[in-house]
């Protein structure tokens, strides 16, 4: 049994794609840049807001100045509309309750800015998570293992006692870099192929699969 489950936020705990995409499209539109269908944002998000903006801009417009001004507008819009459509995925609330009842610690590690990460987690889940960390200025982002290892250290848990759950290659690589097992979540923004190609140890078809992996029930390892 694992002692700690670290979760990614967007695409893992909460479906935030529409709010992220709408805010980005509004920011792009303000400066006369083309907007995108929501499905494209599945591949734009995951590496932090500056990379989201860069990916959303036309290739020949990805200057530092454009990224900076569109990001500033995005931050303003998203700050007032981060929870219009964002909700926990079906089954997540039950998963969290069952892990808590089992005595397994839970944490969140996201490339979303730290203030947004903490606000969303607090509003959606209260104080059930033992540690919540988003992207902080001056600190490396995932897939660098810094954020995951810092959480483990703060909770006194080793990598071999930790399961990292996420929906993208970034999360699978983060787990590998941190030396812990990973579970790829199929309800998120990316594909099974991406998760398996990037080293997912387990694949979860539904949130409660994570509970089974965490406590050692019906374990089927991909690798």
The set of catalytic residues is 8
Omega within 30 of 0 (cis) for the link into 214: no
Residue 33 CB coordination number (10 Å):
17
Of 49, 26, 164, 27, residue with least CA distance to 113 = 49
How far is residue 133's CA from residue 117's CA, in Å, rounded to a whole number?
7
Residue 131 region, left (φ>0) first, then alpha (ψ -120 to 50), else beta?
beta
SS3 for 68? helix
How far is it, in rounded angstroms, from Cα 135 to Cα 98?
28
Measured between alpha carbons, how far is 50 from 111 in angstroms, rounded to an integer?
10
Whether the CB-CB separation of 12 and 166 falls below 8 Å is answered with: yes
């Amino acid at each position: 049994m694992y002692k700690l489950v670290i979760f990614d936020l967007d695409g893992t705990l909460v479906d935030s794609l529409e709010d992220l995409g709408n805010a980005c499209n509004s920011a792009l539109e303000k400066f006369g840049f083309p907007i995108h269908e929501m499905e494209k944002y599945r591949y734009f998000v995951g590496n932090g807001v500056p990379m989201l903006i860069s990916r959303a801009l036309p290739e020949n417009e990805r200057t530092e100045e454009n990224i900076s001004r569109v990001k500033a507008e995005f931050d303003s819009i998203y700050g007032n509309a981060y929870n219009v459509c964002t909700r926990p995925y079906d089954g997540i609330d039950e998963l969290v309750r069952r892990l808590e009842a089992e005595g397994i610690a839970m944490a969140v590690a996201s490339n979303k800015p730290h203030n947004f990460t903490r606000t969303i987690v607090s509003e959606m889940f209260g104080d059930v998570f033992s540690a919540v960390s988003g992207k902080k200025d001056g600190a490396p982002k995932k897939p660098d293992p810094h954020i995951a290892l810092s959480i483990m250290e703060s909770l006194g848990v080793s990598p071999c006692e930790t399961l990292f759950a996420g929906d993208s290659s970034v999360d699978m690589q983060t787990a590998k870099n941190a030396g812990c097992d990973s579970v790829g979540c199929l309800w998120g923004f990316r594909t099974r192929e991406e998760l398996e190609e990037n080293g997912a140890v387990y694949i979860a078809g539904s949130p409660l699969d994570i509970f089974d992996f965490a406590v050692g029930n019906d374990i089927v390892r991909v690798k």
